Amino acid sequence: MSGSKVNLVPPTAWELPNYVPRKLATPFSRLVLHHLRLDTARSLPGLLEYMHRVFATLIEAGRTHSLEATTKAATPSEGDDDSMTSEWVYTRAEFEAFVWAADVVIAIGTNADNESDSAFFGDVEAIRGGRSWEDIPVGFYYVRPSHQGGRTSHNCYIGLVISPPYQQSGYGKSIVGTYSHYLPLLGYKASIGRVFATNTKSIRLCESTGFTRVGLIPRAGRLRRADGSGEEWVDSIIYYRSFVDEEEWSRPIRSML
C-alpha cells in the first residue's frame, strides 16, 4: 500500500493570479488539486507514464535531486544507423517505489468556471476533458515523513515537480500555497527539507513562500556541473516551515502509542 494511512483528501480548486511579474502568461485560470494513491493513478490511462517521464528526466539530469539513475539500458544512437548505445536511466519501477510510497497531490490546469460543481471537480477525467496528459498537469508534489517516522513523524519532506511546459510561469508559488491546506490534513505539522545550493530556482521559491533557512550541510551532494564537464560537491541548504499556528504547538502532546 502506498501513501499515508489517512483518508484521501477531497479535491480543491485554487484561483490563479491574472498576472505575475517577469513570468510567462498562464493559459489557465485555476488549478484543481487531487490527492492520489498509486491504485487510483493506475486507473487513469497514461498518467503514470507521463509523470514517470517528467520525474526521470529530472533525475537523469543529475543536477537538482539526490536520487541517481542506476539502471543501464540500451537506447537507439543518434543518426540514421540502427546502432544502440547504453545510458543510465531511472526506471518506472524505481519511480513508483519512491514517489508513490508517499502521498501524491497533482495540480491540473483548467479554465472551468463551474466552481460549485463538486462532482465535476472531483472527477479527474472530467477535469482532463479529453486533453493529453502532456497538456494539463501543471505539476505534482509528493509528501513523506522527513526521517523514519517515530518521534519525528510530525515533520515531512515535500518534493515538488513542475511539468516542463509550465516552468517559468509562477505555478510553483501557487502550488506551494496549497501546502498549508493539504499537509495538516495528511497528518503533518511542519516540513524540513534540503535544497542544493546550486538550485537557485528552488531557493528563491522557498524563501518567497515562508520557508526559513535553518542550516547548511557542506558537500552534501555529488551533482553534475551545469556545463557538462563532470561532477562537483555541492552544499545543501536546510529549510523549515510550520504549517500550524503557535496555539497548536502549545497544546499537550498526545502519545502515538
**188 within 8 A of 156, measured Cβ to Cβ:** yes
**Res 82: pLDDT:** 65
**Res 181: pLDDT:** 97
**Res 1: pLDDT:** 42
C-alpha cell at 1: 500500500
Global pTM reads: 0.89
**Res 118: pLDDT:** 59
What is the rounded radius of gyration, in angstroms, for the C-alpha atoms of the chain?
Answer: 19
**Res 190: pLDDT:** 97
Q: Where are the alpha helices (H) located in 43-192, listed in sequence order? A: 47-61, 92-99, 118-121, 124-128, 171-176, 179-185
For the chain, list residues with pLDDT below 50: 1
